[in-house]
Amino acid sequence: MGVLAIGNVYILQLESSTPYSLVLMTIPKHAIMTCLSVFTMLMAAGVSAQDNQVSKAKPSLVEFDKALKLTPNLENGKKLYRLCVTCHGPEGWGDDNGSYPQIAGQLTGVTIKQLADIRAGNRDNPIMKAFSSRRTLGGPQEIADVAGYIASLPMTDYNGQGSRRYLDMGEEIYSRDCADCHGVDGEGDVKKHVPRIQSQHYSYLERQYQWIRNGRRQNANKEMVEQIQGYTLKDERAVLSYTASLVPPEEDVADPDWRNPDFPNHKRGWRPDPTNHDRSRK
């Protein structure tokens, strides 16, 4: 595995024989040390090209079905979440530059599905893949446990925002084309495993959306892919800015200075900035 750094962009060369060989990630400067320790952890976990190929040959759909039926053990989920804090943060709020998504409050079934998909190679993220591997995370019960713990974390609505200029236009597109599946307030759909996208960081939404549109994210919902093909760049920015501006119900949201007491001593990366919380429409 080789690493090539160009400014804030790191290119990781994992192996040359798979479509996943080149990964581009923007990593905030403060996270560079984090990343180094992650590499060490990956090495320690013995993550290799072989692991990737084995899991690609055996998609974990069976595990996904099993995990969905299990009752999450939140105490064990908390322990397993230690594997995730480095990148997603102790609060699960990610980073407003979009490198890491807010995963706090995500519907349990959605996290289970995403983990199973990442494991099976249906989402193009080898680093996440290593952390969701059976060897590192465990089987269906462990997937359910960590997903349940993540669902129990309160969210932040101080997420990264898009342009506030086209929010009216975005609202129109959202209610016409997205609300049926993702819910009027972006709350998601438990039964259909449609992700909760309210208060997701704008830059993350943009990346996923583009990967869904151009097929890089292979687990995408086909109807959604068709739906968004005709959008202009302005439509896209408008609808995603509106999505990022949607807020969860008050009871699911924590104060911006809340710290997860389960991880009192963990060094925090990105934190909500209470001076930068403009919700007005321009």
Nearer to ligand HEC by Cβ, of 62 and 274: the residue is: 62
Nearer to ligand HEC by Cβ, of 226 and 251: the residue is: 226
Strand, coil or helix: 86:
helix
Angle of CA points 29, 34, 36, to nearest 5°:
100
User: Smallest distance from the beta carbon of 58 to ligand HEC, in angstroms?
Assistant: 19
CA–CA separation, 141 vs 177, rounded Å?
Answer: 35
Tell me how far CA of residue 132 lies from CA of 30, 40, 60, in angstroms. 24, 16, 11
Nearer to ligand HEC by Cβ, of 65 and 180: the residue is: 180
> Residue 255 class from Cβ within 10 Å (0-12 exposed, 13-18 middle, 19+ buried)?
exposed
Nearer to ligand HEC by Cβ, of 111 and 159: the residue is: 111
Tell me how far CA of residue 106 lies from CA of 91, 114, 115, 222, 278, in angstroms. 12, 11, 12, 21, 24
User: Smallest distance from the beta carbon of 275 to ligand HEC, in angstroms?
Assistant: 27
Query: Which residues sit at the interface with ligand HEC, rule CB under 6 A?
Result: 38, 83-84, 86-88, 100-101, 103, 111, 113-115, 123, 125, 127-128, 131, 137, 146, 177-178, 180-182, 194-195, 197, 205, 207-209, 219-221, 223-224, 227-228, 239, 243
User: Smallest distance from the beta carbon of 278 to ligand HEC, in angstroms?
Assistant: 21
User: Smallest distance from the beta carbon of 36 to ligand HEC, in angstroms?
Assistant: 11
User: Smallest distance from the beta carbon of 8 to ligand HEC, in angstroms?
Assistant: 14
Nearer to ligand HEC by Cβ, of 32 and 274: the residue is: 32
User: Smallest distance from the beta carbon of 32 to ligand HEC, in angstroms?
Assistant: 13
Tell me how far CA of residue 43 lies from CA of 23, 37, 84, 102, 136, in angstroms. 17, 10, 16, 26, 12
Q: Which residues contact 66 (CB under 8 A, 6 or more apart)?
A: 140
Nearer to ligand HEC by Cβ, of 75 and 257: the residue is: 75
Q: Which residues contact 210 (CB under 8 A, 6 or more apart)?
A: 216
